[in-house]
Amino acid sequence: MSWWLRHADTAVAPSVLSADFGAVGDDLASMELAGADLFHLDVMDAHFVPNLTFGPFIAKALRRRTDLPLDAHLMVTRPDDLISPFADAGMDALTVHIESEGDTAGTLSQIRAAGMKAGLSLRPATPIASLAPYLALIDLILVMSVEPGYGGQAFIPESLARIAELDRRRGVGEGSFAISVDGGINADTGPRCLEAGADILVTGSYLFGAPDRAAAVASLRARQHPVDP
């Protein structure tokens, strides 16, 4: 079984950006019960993106409240400085942006050397082709389907073709990475991303705002348009 899976063949990763940080431990427990597979931690530095969230100190506190895998999505200008602190905080995966500063290949190998899965993300306007040199070096690609920085934005439909292109590339042997998608995922867009080839659905406002979280998790996994055999 792949490291990101707990149920079925599709992983649901709640983005804790939308959690209630006054009672975040309860929110994590409720998402676990609802069927989440892993948690997605949005780290923003008020430089790479305008927003500012949290760092390894809070990530370590979240680590103590769940046994599910944790993937930290670093929306920061200088990820290299944060690899060791996030490894110490107990992260299972660290996802950095191709648009960040530094030597991306070096950053990815440092993440793996620190014992974590290496993820690479890209903004909606960054060409998929720019990932080519790194496809063999990564465990996960995080396709941003909104401009990074805030939860609650609308899904960018062109993301579906980007997911399909990555699925095609790994199908012809250009790496063996999981495809994750982040931004505007709900019961409509989530299943469409799965059909395009995504393995992990990151979702914040839809899941945390749902009156029935278990039903919301299940709705993400429902493939609405089965592909003909």
Tokens of 153: 């934005």
Residue 104, C-beta contacts closer than 8 angstroms, at least 6 positions apart: 96, 98, 120, 134
Tokens of 23: 């009672």
- Calpha distance 96→120 (Å, rounded): 5
Question: Per DSSP, what are the bridge partners of residue 193?
Answer: none
Site residues (CB under 5 A) for Zn ion, limited to 69-98: 73
Site residues (CB under 5 A) for Zn ion, limited to 28-47: 42
Of 174 and 187, nearer to ligand DX5 (C-beta) is: 187
Shortest gap between Cβ of 153 and ligand DX5 (angstroms)?
5
**182 is an active site residue:** yes
Shortest gap between Cβ of 155 and ligand DX5 (angstroms)?
8
Site residues (CB under 5 A) for Zn ion, limited to 152-191: 182
Binding-site size for ligand DX5 (CB under 6 A) equals 22
- Report DSSP letters for 136-172, one per residue: GG-SEEEEESS-TT-SSPPP-TTHHHHHHHHHHHHHT
Q: Cite the active site residues.
A: 42, 182
Could you list the residues that contact ligand DX5 (CB under 6 A)? 15, 17-18, 40, 42, 73, 146, 148-153, 182-185, 202-206
Could you list the residues that contact Zn ion (CB under 5 A)? 42, 73, 182
